[in-house]
A and B are shown apart, each in its own frame.
Chain A
Amino acid sequence: MRYSLWSLLGNAIGGHERWPRAWRSPEPKRFYDVVIVGGGGHGLATAYYLARNHGITDVAVLERGPIGLGNTGRNTTVVRSNYLCDDSAHLYEHALKLWENLSHELNFNTMFSQRGVVNLAFTRHELAEMERRAGAMRLNGIDCELLTVADLKRWIPILDTRDTARHPLLGGLVQRRGGNARHDAIAWGYARAANALGVDIIENCAVTGIRQHGGRVVGVDTSRGHIAAGRVGVAVAGHCSVVMGLAGVKLPIQSFPLQALVSEPVKPVLHTVVMAGHVHVYLSQSDKGELVIGAARDNYVSYAQRGSFHLIEEQLRALLGLFPVFSRLRMMRQWAGIVDCAPDASPIIGKTPVANLYVNCGWGTGGFKATPGSGWVFAHTIVNDEPHPLNRNFTLERFHTGRLVDEAAAAGVAH
Chain B
Amino acid sequence: MLLIPCPWCGARPDSEFASGGEAHIVRPPQPDAVSDEQWGRYLFFRENVKGVQRERWMHAQGCRRWFNVVRDTVTHEIKAAYAMGEPPPQAHR
Contact = CB atoms under 8 A, between A and B. Distances in A.
Is A in direct contact with B (CB under 8 Å) within the complex?
A: yes
Given A239-B50, A308-B1, A251 B36 contact: no
B50 A400 contact: no
B74 A304 contact: yes
A253 B47 CA distance: 8
A301 B40 contact: no
A299 B46 CA distance: 13
A310 B15 contact: yes
Contacts of B2: 300, 308
B50 to A, nearest CB: 5
A401 interface: yes
Contacts of B40: 252, 399-402
B28 to A, nearest CB: 14
B48 A253 contact: yes
B87 interface: no
Given A239-B50, A400-B37, A401-B36, A302 B15 contact: no
Nearest to B4: A300
Query: Counting chain A CB atoms within 10 Å of each CB, which of B1, B19, B36, B41 scores highest?
Result: B1
A225 B39 CA distance: 39
Instruction: Say whether chain B's binding surface is mostly helix, strand, loop, or mixed.
Output: mixed
Contact of B73 (A304, A308, A310, A343): A304
B21 interface: yes
B49 interface: yes
B30 to A, nearest CB: 18
Contacts of B19: 298-300
Q: Which of A251, A298, A300, A303 has the most chain B CB within a 10 Å cutoff?
A: A300
A301 B48 contact: yes
Secondary structure dominating the interface of A? loop
Given A303-B73, A400-B37, A241 B44 contact: no
Interface in A369-400: 399-400
Interface residues of B, number: 28
Give the contact-size bracket for chain A.
20 to 34
Given A308-B2, A308-B15, A301 B36 contact: no
A239 B44 CA distance: 18
A251 B45 CA distance: 6
A302 B73 contact: yes
B13 A399 contact: no
A301 B44 contact: no
Contact of A304 (B41, B55, B76): B76
Contacts of A239: 50
Interface string B15-58: 10011010000000000000011011101111111100101000
A399 B55 contact: no
Contact of B48 (A254, A400, A401, A402): A254
B67 to A, nearest CB: 14
Nearest to B51: A303
B90 interface: no
Contacts of A242: 48, 50
A360 interface: no
A399 B50 contact: no
Contacts of B50: 239, 241-242, 255, 303
Interface of A: 239, 241-242, 250-255, 298-304, 306, 308-310, 343, 399-402
